């Protein structure tokens, strides 16, 4: 076996301690205090990471460019003849028990068991059993539909949802570009099933960069008039009195509003960073800033969240955070006279001293929510990192905790965005958070996670085992492993590592060995399928130690520590899947020190050996900025890696390992203690910077598994001349890269695969779905079963096995998908299909059987019937055809060729087996 493992982990050389806590298989791998500290950086770090991938050379994400890309994608989709133009058929893999960031929940006014919830990048979902199970509202996980952040229902039952995540617009980006998902306005339904975009809020009405409805962070309906509702938008509070046909401004301002609430008497409160605004009736131009609230609400805030009592219109609560970054909690205020006067009921950060209760963990601008108990106007539930209960005259206490077993009665996932009481059953409360949806049936005494079928998980990475299990790193939901072991659902996942999940890989040679990573490169390995994880020190040893920093950490040197650090496992097997060299394994990492130039790549060949702490060796020079992407050639001898928009190649990795003596030799970088090869000049590990500088940040490097000279490089950003480049001489000193952008819309491209079955076929994951091209000129949107959502990583199995050729996609908002067929057929079927009579097959695709329509008359006979898989292997053979129906239930999902030999000659057909 030859194998090696490459990981790029940004590390700050500090002294620290890790412990592992296992409770009900819930992995908790660092002390609680440190987990909380690390969690406080996660939201901002993730937004910085996404912004880096999406922004142009000026660090901006132009709204115009985003909307133009959407129009181009929609035009391509609308103008094609049918989905039959696609070449890939997709199957959703889950997870169906893990949610994702949820900022909007609605309880149907006529049926409290009917619940709607919105994923910020995964569409609108509906439950008809009070959250026990969920289903996607058809079509809402496409394009601008997908970012659902607000929802309301008018008195006649019409439902509206708003798009565009304004609550993160002041984090992770600059004034002209947030890493959040830009919306497409407001959508309306009169039946709760079919939603249509309100033309009055549509991007087609955009006349400048200041598109008002790019974010609709909150909406509220009038208490009696079914045609009147209010929207807190990117530019002010908007009011409609005709069911959304037209909109007016509640007040003249260019400020972004993040909240709007309607009291039981019809008065309206709204908030922006400059304060709280009030209108007695919510009519156009009637909003005025409250002036009797003192200097606290006079400006300088980061976010203000409002809660109104459902039982008394005079009672108003407001949470206030400061400006900058994630936002420190400044205080909770209460008014019992509709905002005429205010009382500070729960002090927060005063500038020098933190509060004694850590409600928001210094990220109130990201996760802040509050709701008034309909049965007790003096009691509120506050959502931040955890849930807290405050009752006036009694005090405050936590009622949930995220850093414990998910089976505990008071476990609720971290980072709360929505709290909603069921007015028909006020002891029942729904909560929207970064982990999806939870529910309490006893007024906050205990909680249950309600994510079954709610597939809105945001994946950064994905990997697979040789038997088709999948794993991936997610935003704030750790590393999720779908191993088909759950009795309830094959899409059930278990979390094997916490935090924000990074790169993860499953060993082909030993599928029980799993490597996982949390944010900023805390890498671990498991020998038992993720049931337990070793400590960081047991994997990385003394050579590499410490924690990564983010750019704004106290005492940081200002360097960008990669949020999702590259990690690569390389293994070599023969055509039957047997290891070739059992002693050859490499790994790599990067580290940061306060001196600056300490980003580099390490490797080890002992990552599969759990009897030792692996020895790590530096294989690249040290650099001043982080190494962000890594890819290895199939022979294991070359590594491509990137820093920003620059591409590098490291050569001669194989020549520097004596697999018999377990020794290494490096003449120019890294360790020099082991020198079994003397002064062999061919044993020098060398790194060169390739002569092409790409326009934007490199997001992926795909190497042809059959020809290491062929590589594809993808870049992010909007406004680039090209996002996909290809080289056919990547091993040369000066390889040439050509754009294969073709007619692909101008949008960030995050990942690429060169098809193992056809090196002309390139498949890419983009901000708007998966696309493929066989010539680098014409690109096809591969949406047959795949939502048009951000697709951050594509991986294809190129080693032998039942899933060879299958492509796996980690989407950022809709979980993991796999291709049910491969994109091309390695079996040379072109002559068969073109030169012989075709046979009609139906249904096609098929699940359990196919019907064959052949023209045989009396006296005609069949010699044999064969079914061939994509690898050219015969999977079915019969000497006769007793009926026109053939059972295919035993076949794996994929593409197949059927060949019927009769006295009339050969008849050939193609069909797809799916589940």
Q: pLDDT tens across 76-116, in order? A: 988 876 554 678 889 999 999 999 999 999 999 999 999 99
Q: Determine the Cα angle at 844 with ends 843 and 847, to 5°.
A: 75
Instruction: Decide the pairing of beta strands 780-781 and 2-7.
Output: unpaired
Question: Considering only CA atoms, which of 653, 504, 538 is closest in space to residue 607?
Answer: 538
User: What structural domains and CATH numbers belong to the chain?
Assistant: 2-60+457-819 (2.130.10.10), 99-449 (2.130.10.10), 830-913 (2.60.40.730)
What is the pTM assigned to this prediction?
0.84
Confidence at residue 899, expressed as pLDDT on a 0 to 100 scale: 86
Question: Considering only CA atoms, which of 283, 261, 161 is closest in space to residue 215?
Answer: 161
Cα dihedral 170, 172, 177, 182, rounded to 10, equals -80
Residue bearing the bigger pLDDT, 177 or 157: 157
Instruction: Please spell the DSSP secondary structure of 258-272, one letter per residue.
Output: EEEEE-TTS-EEEEE
Confidence at residue 176, expressed as pLDDT on a 0 to 100 scale: 35
Average predicted confidence (pLDDT) for the chain: 82
Q: How far apart are CA 272 and CA 215, in angstroms?
A: 13
Please say if the pLDDT value at position 612 is more than 60: yes
Confidence at residue 252, expressed as pLDDT on a 0 to 100 scale: 79
On whether the CB atoms of residues 231 and 243 are closer than 8 A, the answer is no
Half-sphere exposure of 219 (CA within 13 A, CB side): 31
CA distances from 724 to 213, 564, 719, 727, 740 (A): 31, 21, 13, 10, 6
Please say if the pLDDT value at position 636 is more than 70: yes
- What's the average model confidence in pLDDT over 44-68? 86
Residue tagged 């001349």 (tokens): 721
pLDDT tens digit sequence for 294-318: 555 555 678 899 999 999 999 999 9
- What's the average model confidence in pLDDT over 275-296? 82
Neighbours of 778 (CB within 10 A): 11
Confidence at residue 622, expressed as pLDDT on a 0 to 100 scale: 81
| Encoded tokens for 887 | 């059972």
- 76 phi, psi to nearest 5 deg: -65, -40
Residue bearing the bigger pLDDT, 24 or 736: 736
Question: Considering only CA atoms, which of 640, 659, 643, 665 is closest in space to residue 651?
Answer: 640
Query: What confidence category does residue 190 fall into, taking pLDDT thresholds of 50, 70 and 90?
Result: very high
| Encoded tokens for 86 | 């696609």
Q: How far apart are CA 723 and CA 744, in angstroms?
A: 9
Bridge partner residues of 136 (DSSP): 125
540 three-class SS: helix
Confidence at residue 745, expressed as pLDDT on a 0 to 100 scale: 96
Query: What confidence category does residue 264 fall into, taking pLDDT thresholds of 50, 70 and 90?
Result: very high
Please say if the pLDDT value at position 658 is more than 90: no
- What's the average model confidence in pLDDT over 51-75? 88
Q: How far apart are CA 712 and CA 724, in angstroms?
A: 7
% of the chain exceeding 90 in pLDDT: 50
Neighbours of 686 (CB within 10 A): 14
H-helix or E-strand containing 126?
strand 123-127
Beta strands in 2-144 (DSSP E): 2-7, 21-23, 26-28, 90-94, 102-107, 115-119, 123-127, 135-136
Q: Determine the Cα angle at 41 with ends 37 and 47, to 5°.
A: 165
Confidence at residue 329, expressed as pLDDT on a 0 to 100 scale: 84
pLDDT tens digit sequence for 389-434: 999 999 999 999 999 988 999 999 999 999 999 999 999 999 999 9
Which segment of 74-83, 460-469, 742-751, 818-827 scores lowest on mean pLDDT?
818-827
CA distances from 536 to 544, 595, 644, 841 (A): 10, 23, 27, 55
CA distances from 348 to 322, 330, 585, 813 (A): 10, 4, 52, 34
Question: Considering only CA atoms, which of 20, 315, 102, 268 is closest in space to residue 813?
Answer: 102
Confidence at residue 672, expressed as pLDDT on a 0 to 100 scale: 42
* Radius of gyration of the chain, Cα coordinates, nearest whole angstrom: 29
- 143 phi, psi to nearest 5 deg: 50, -135
Per 3-state DSSP, the chain is made up of helix, strand and coil in percentages (nearest 5) of: 10, 35, 55
**Sheet bearing 479-482, strands edge to edge:** 463-464, 470-473, 479-482, 494-497
Confidence at residue 846, expressed as pLDDT on a 0 to 100 scale: 87
Bridge partner residues of 189 (DSSP): 159
Residue bearing the bigger pLDDT, 213 or 878: 213
Confidence at residue 259, expressed as pLDDT on a 0 to 100 scale: 96
Question: Considering only CA atoms, which of 898, 899, 896 is closest in space to residue 820?
Answer: 896
Cβ within 8 Å of residue 15, ≥6 positions away: none
Which segment of 551-560, 625-634, 828-837 scores lowest on mean pLDDT?
551-560
Please say if the pLDDT value at position 732 is more than 70: yes
Q: How far apart are CA 120 and CA 140, in angstroms?
A: 11
Q: How many residues belong to the chain?
A: 915
Question: Considering only CA atoms, which of 370, 368, 269, 371 is closest in space to residue 311?
Answer: 371
- What's the average model confidence in pLDDT over 586-604? 57
Q: Which residues of 533-554 are buried (b: 16+ CB within 10 A; e: fewer)?
A: bbebebbbbebbbbbbbbeeee
H-helix or E-strand containing 914?
none
Residue tagged 């007040």 (tokens): 251
Q: How far apart are CA 233 and CA 247, in angstroms?
A: 12
Confidence at residue 551, expressed as pLDDT on a 0 to 100 scale: 37
Confidence at residue 589, expressed as pLDDT on a 0 to 100 scale: 52
pLDDT tens digit sequence for 765-808: 999 999 999 988 999 999 999 999 999 999 999 998 888 899 99
Question: Considering only CA atoms, which of 481, 530, 501, 494 is closest in space to residue 405?
Answer: 494
Which segment of 40-49, 174-183, 549-558 scores lowest on mean pLDDT?
549-558
Question: Considering only CA atoms, which of 51, 20, 85, 54 is closest in space to residue 716?
Answer: 54
CA distances from 414 to 2, 19, 119, 405, 557 (A): 42, 21, 16, 13, 29
Neighbours of 861 (CB within 10 A): 10
- The distance between the two most distant Cα atoms of the chain, rounded to a whole number of Å, is 99
Half-sphere exposure of 774 (CA within 13 A, CB side): 7
On whether the CB atoms of residues 25 and 606 are closer than 8 A, the answer is no
Among 38-52, 769-783, 817-831, the range with the most confident prediction by mean pLDDT is 769-783
pLDDT tens digit sequence for 329-351: 888 999 999 999 999 999 887 77
Instruction: Decide the pairing of beta strands 837-838 and 905-913.
Output: parallel
Residue bearing the bigger pLDDT, 393 or 142: 393
Dihedral sign of CA atoms 572, 575, 576, 580 in order:
negative
| Encoded tokens for 368 | 């802040």
Cβ within 8 Å of residue 277, ≥6 positions away: 237, 250, 251, 269, 270, 271, 287, 288, 289, 290
H-helix or E-strand containing 40?
helix 32-54
Neighbours of 254 (CB within 10 A): 9
Q: How far apart are CA 334 and CA 848, in angstroms?
A: 63
On whether the CB atoms of residues 539 and 531 are closer than 8 A, the answer is no
Cβ within 8 Å of residue 883, ≥6 positions away: none
On whether the CB atoms of residues 678 and 662 are closer than 8 A, the answer is no
């Amino acid at each position: 076996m030859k194998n090696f493992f490459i990981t790029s982990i940004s590390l700050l050389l500090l002294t620290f301690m890790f412990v592992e806590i296992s409770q009900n298989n819930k992995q908790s791998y660092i002390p609680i205090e440190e987990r909380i500290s690390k969690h406080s950086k996660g939201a901002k770090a993730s937004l910085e990471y996404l912004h880096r991938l999406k922004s142009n050379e000026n660090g901006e994400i132009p709204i115009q460019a985003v909307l133009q890309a959407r129009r181009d994608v929609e035009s391509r989709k609308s103008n094609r003849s049918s989905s039959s133009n696609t070449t890939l058929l997709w199957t959703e893999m889950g997870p169906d028990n893990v949610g994702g960031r949820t900022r909007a929940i609605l309880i149907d006014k006529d049926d409290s068991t009917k619940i709607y919830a919105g994923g910020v990048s995964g569409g609108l979902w509906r439950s008809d059993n009070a959250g026990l199970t969920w289903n996607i509202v058809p079509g809402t996980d496409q394009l601008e539909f997908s970012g659902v952040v607000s929802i309301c229902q008018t008195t006649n039952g019409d439902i509206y949802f708003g798009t565009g995540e304004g609550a993160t617009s002041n984090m992770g980006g600059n004034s002209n570009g947030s890493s959040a998902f830009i919306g497409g306005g407001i959508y309306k339904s009169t039946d709760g099933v079919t939603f249509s975009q309100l033309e009055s809020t549509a991007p087609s009405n955009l006349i400048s960069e200041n598109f008002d409805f790019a974010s609709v962070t909150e909406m509220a309906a009038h208490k009696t008039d079914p045609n009147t509702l209010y929207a807190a938008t990117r530019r002010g509070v908007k009011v409609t009195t005709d069911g959304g046909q037209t909109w007016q401004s509640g007040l003249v301002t260019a400020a972004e509003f993040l909240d709007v609430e309607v009291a039981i008497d019809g008065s309206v409160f709204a908030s922006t960073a400059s304060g709280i605004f009030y209108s007695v009736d919510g009519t156009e131009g009637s909003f005025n800033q409250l002036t009797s609230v003192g200097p606290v609400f006079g400006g300088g805030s980061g976010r203000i969240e409002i809660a109104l009592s459902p039982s008394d219109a005079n009672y108003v609560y407001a949470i206030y955070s400061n400006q900058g970054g994630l936002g420190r909690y400044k205080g909770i205020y209460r008014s019992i006279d509709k905002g005429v006067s205010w009382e500070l009921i729960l002090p927060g950060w005063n500038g020098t001293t933190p509060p004694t209760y850590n409600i928001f963990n210094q990220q109130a601008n990201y996760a802040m929510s509050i709701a008034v108990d309909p049965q007790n106007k003096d009691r509120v539930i506050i959502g931040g990192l955890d849930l807290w209960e405050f009752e006036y005259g009694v005090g405050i206490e936590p009622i949930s905790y995220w850093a414990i077993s998910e089976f505990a009665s008071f476990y609720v996932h971290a980072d709360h965005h929505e709290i909603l009481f069921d007015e028909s059953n006020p002891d029942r409360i729904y909560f929207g958070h970064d982990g999806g949806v939870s529910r309490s049936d006893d007024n906050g005494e205990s909680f249950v996670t309600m994510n079954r079928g709610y597939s809105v998980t945001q994946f950064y990475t994905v990997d697979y085992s040789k038997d088709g299990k999948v794993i991936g790193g997610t935003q704030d939901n750790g590393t999720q492993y779908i191993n088909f072991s759950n009795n309830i659902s094959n899409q059930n996942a278990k979390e094997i590592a916490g935090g924000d999940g990074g790169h993860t890989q499953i060993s082909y040679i030993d599928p029980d060995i799993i490597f996982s990573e949390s944010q900023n490169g805390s890498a671990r390995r498991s020998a038992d399928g993720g049931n337990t994880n070793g400590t960081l020190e047991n994997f990385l040893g003394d050579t590499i130690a410490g924690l990564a920093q983010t750019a704004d950490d106290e005492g940081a040197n200002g360097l960008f520590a990669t949020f999702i650090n590259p990690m690569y496992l390389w293994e070599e097997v023969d055509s039957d899947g047997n290891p070739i060299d059992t002693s050859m394994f490499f790994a790599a990492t990067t580290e940061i020190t306060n001196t600056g130039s300490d980003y580099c790549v390490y490797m080890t060949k002992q990552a599969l050996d759990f009897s030792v702490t692996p020895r790590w060796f530096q294989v690249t020079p040290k650099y001043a900025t982080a190494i962000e992407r890594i890819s290895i050639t199939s022979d294991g001898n070359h590594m491509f890696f990137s820093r920003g928009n620059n591409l590098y190649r490291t050569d001669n990795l194989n020549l520097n390992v004596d697999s018999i003596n377990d020794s290494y030799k490096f003449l120019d970088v890294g360790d020099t203690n082991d020198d079994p090869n003397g002064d062999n000049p061919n044993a020098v590990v060398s790194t060169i910077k390739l002569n092409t500088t790409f326009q934007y940040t490199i997001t992926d490097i795909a190497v042809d598994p059959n020809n290491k000279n062929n590589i594809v490089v993808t870049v992010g950003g909007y406004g680039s001349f090209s996002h996909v480049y290809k080289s056919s001489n990547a091993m040369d000193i000066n390889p040439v890269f050509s754009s294969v952008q073709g007619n692909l819309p101008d949008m960030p491209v995050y990942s690429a695969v060169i098809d193992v079955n056809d090196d002309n076929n390139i498949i890419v994951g983009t901000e708007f779905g998966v696309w493929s091209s066989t010539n680098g000129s014409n690109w096809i949107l591969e949406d047959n079963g795949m939502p048009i959502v951000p697709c951050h990583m594509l991986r294809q199995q190129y080693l032998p096995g039942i899933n060879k050729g299958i492509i796996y996609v980690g989407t950022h908002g809709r979980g993991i998908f796999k291709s049910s067929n491969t994109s091309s057929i390695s079996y040379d079927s072109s002559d068969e299909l073109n030169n012989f009579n075709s046979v009609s097959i139906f249904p096609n695709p098929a699940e359990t059987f196919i019907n064959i329509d052949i023209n045989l008359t009396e006296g005609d006979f069949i010699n044999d019937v064969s079914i061939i898989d994509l690898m050219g292997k015969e999977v079915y053979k019969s000497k006769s055809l007793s009926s026109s129906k053939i059972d295919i239930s035993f076949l794996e999902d994929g593409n197949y060729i059927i060949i019927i030999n009769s006295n009339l000659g050969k008849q050939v057909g193609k069909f797809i087996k799916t589940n």
